[in-house]
Chains A and B, each alone.
Chain A
């Protein structure tokens, strides 16, 4: 392909982190291990070990009409099996969480297939076929786009992204889905919607402030890198706006 995506402008560490995350050829470092069962527990959509409930019979058993689009777009494993569509939702603290709502959505669009992401200011959700979701969720929790203290898996009652952190450095969670133990390890004691788990799920130790600042994808003048420190980024934002404005006006080009 002749076109090489640029992903985004900017010279700052924040801009580079954003590009890294979006670029599917960049390997996201694995920082912790969670088992498949752990993921299923936190998601809370089915009991571990249970079969995937289906929304329709497997595609192989259906007579699909002849369609060039169906030929082009290969179904994911979940689609082939006829899984129902389920979700994982995150809240990200503005205090240098490694992933942020739109950033996670863009990253997911570059790295995952068959997804439907939704982006708000207090939460970001991705919906897809259940077995695909299990796989993606594991990736989203194990790698550098997750930090146990500043990123949290929350299905509802998400308030916390814009609040100061608690004394122990954890993002506020009214439902206290995860707890920082005396040993410094964060454990999920409830699933993403707040139902207590039969056993805790360990997600490792919170990353330190220096790491967070170096891996942040948000500009923050107090805790991290200020937007003013990245004039190239600002220049490109203005450029996009100016071009849209100009061509909305539809000037006659000489």
Chain B
């Protein structure tokens, strides 16, 4: 006590010397009153602006006068910050709510506004029914017109009202084909060049699948897609395709053959991104609930960019999938409000799932000699029940041990559902990559749930594991009322259409079985090619990185309305 008193007295003495004429015991001093931050006119304006926004929104904002004091700033936090896995970027949970993140919104916009339409039927009609020539030149001409028309430009008809190009500049059409000669003749700006975009082996495989056919990869304007819905995409696209054919091939508007072209463009030649959903979930095409897992895995392009890291590629599908299916589909379309952000973020933050999955990779390499860094269909383990059980058990038990031994990891994934989804995902991915079989991967997921539940005598939220208790039995069933190949399952597969914390991971397990084999695609080569297009606003090869960019306000989405709203 005496020591403190002495230093206090010394302190006062020093103060008195320094600040002569001032009352040093007073709580306020006149000496340093220069106005602080109020010296700066700009800062003053900014503070005033902040105050008014504060008043409007009731959220406290910038308060510089509190911050520039000597000493150590210290805060207390109940909530954790999260690192978006694989990116090094630290964000708040709120930054990853899809409403607050423009990259997440754009990813979903890209999918919803996309449709693939074949050209072969149209070309056959033109050639056989109308006796017109279809050549690379005419195709280029058609594409030129189509890229004018698709964003909402008028062709053929007089006195039409049009969209403003600046609002629809994200809208375009490109084509692709497996025919190298034909591809060479297409104007480069309109071509998705399979050769250039894919690793050699994958490019060959894709071109073989597409063959001599030609397809249009169409992306209607984001702003249109947001005002309307997924069902608009194929219709908007078909309208403008029809008009463009009429213009390009000098047809009579409305002549009978136009009906053939319309039918092909609207139905026969169309590949939707999502199927329609029946009553209870009722949605039109191109909504999240109707996207098959195989198709979703084809949309994500990380395997194209990281062909020798199927684990990485799968983890990107987890991130994109949990965002779309947990946060947007189940968290908004099918419910709403605060949503289900943290069920999804558990799977793509803090590198936890990454840790567990790479442990799985080490395990399958050590025990089964799977050279996972060189994916090949030949180098897979036969998916017997014993193998599946062994891989899933080991990955699950290891993950539980990590949670037990690192309490902060347990506290990060404070909810059982988070832990369950992450552990089962790691198990499923490891199993699928090792075996190259999507149903085996799903089977591994269900064993993980069973082990977890009994090990800790807890699992997830009330009813979380309803589908997981059925899953062992239906994972190898192909009977129409209760089974299906993994690639064809989707969020509306009966047992899956209910709970968060599952769908995104299932999509990744399905994809991983193909990434582990080095396959060029999972289910639909046309989708794989379409989303390889570098002109898309969202980079489908790096979904997690894009989400991080959205969280730090570095992602520029499409369809901005600044042009048509009052200037501030």
Contacts and interface: CB of A to CB of B under 8 A. Distances in A.
A and B touch in the complex (CB under 8 A): yes
Interface of A: 18, 94, 100-103, 118-122, 159, 161-164, 217-223, 226-228, 233-234, 237-238, 240-242, 244-250
Interface stretch (B113-121, B246-254, B350-358, B442-450): B442-450
Nearest to B412: A162
A180 B483 CA distance: 54
B476 A162 contact: no
6 A-B pairs closest in CB distance: A121-B416, A248-B473, A100-B457, A244-B472, A249-B476, A121-B458
A24 B482 CA distance: 38
A221 B450 contact: no
Given A100-B456, A159-B414, A121 B461 contact: yes
Nearest to A10: B454
B458 to A, nearest CB: 4
A221 B477 contact: no
Nearest to B407: A164
B459 interface: yes
A238 B404 contact: no
Interface residues of B, number: 42
Nearest to B390: A238
Contacts of B385: 242, 245-246
Interface in B420-471: 420, 443, 446-447, 450-451, 453-462
Nearest to B420: A121
A248 B472 contact: yes
Interface in B468-527: 472-477, 479, 482-483
Contacts, number: 111
B414 to A, nearest CB: 5
A221 B407 CA distance: 12
A245 B401 contact: no
Contact of A120 (B393, B461, B476): B461
24 contacts: A94-B456, A100-B458, A102-B457, A103-B457, A120-B458, A120-B460, A121-B416, A121-B459, A122-B416, A159-B414, A162-B410, A163-B410, A163-B414, A218-B455, A218-B456, A219-B455, A219-B456, A221-B400, A237-B393, A242-B389, A245-B385, A245-B472, A248-B473, A248-B476
Most buried by A among B460, B473, B479: B473
Contact of B473 (A102, A119, A222, A247): A247
B430 to A, nearest CB: 16
A247 B474 CA distance: 9
Q: Give chain B's interface secondary structure class.
A: helix
A102 B464 CA distance: 13
Contact of A101 (B404, B414, B458, B479): B458
A102 B393 contact: no
B475 A237 contact: no
Nearest to A247: B473
Given A121-B419, A246-B385, 16 more contacts: A100-B457, A102-B453, A121-B415, A122-B415, A159-B414, A223-B404, A227-B400, A227-B451, A227-B455, A234-B451, A238-B389, A247-B473, A248-B476, A248-B482, A248-B483, A249-B477
Contacts of A101: 457-458
B460 A164 contact: no
B417 interface: yes
Nearest to B446: A241
Contacts of B476: 245, 248-249
B39 interface: no
A121 B464 CA distance: 10
A237 B451 contact: yes
A48 B462 CA distance: 32
B405 interface: yes
B472 A162 contact: no
Contact of B411 (A100, A118, A164, A242): A164
Contact of A222 (B393, B404, B420): B404
Nearest to A125: B462
Contact of B477 (A18, A164, A250): A250
Contacts of A250: 477, 479
Contacts of A248: 472-477, 482-483
Nearest to A236: B454
Contacts of B536: none
Nearest to A124: B458
A249 to B, nearest CB: 4
Contacts of B447: 237-238, 241
B397 interface: yes
Contacts of A227: 397, 400, 451, 455
A90 to B, nearest CB: 12
A234 B454 CA distance: 9
Contacts of A249: 476-477
Contacts of B475: 245, 248
A201 B453 CA distance: 34
B410 A228 contact: no
A234 B457 contact: no
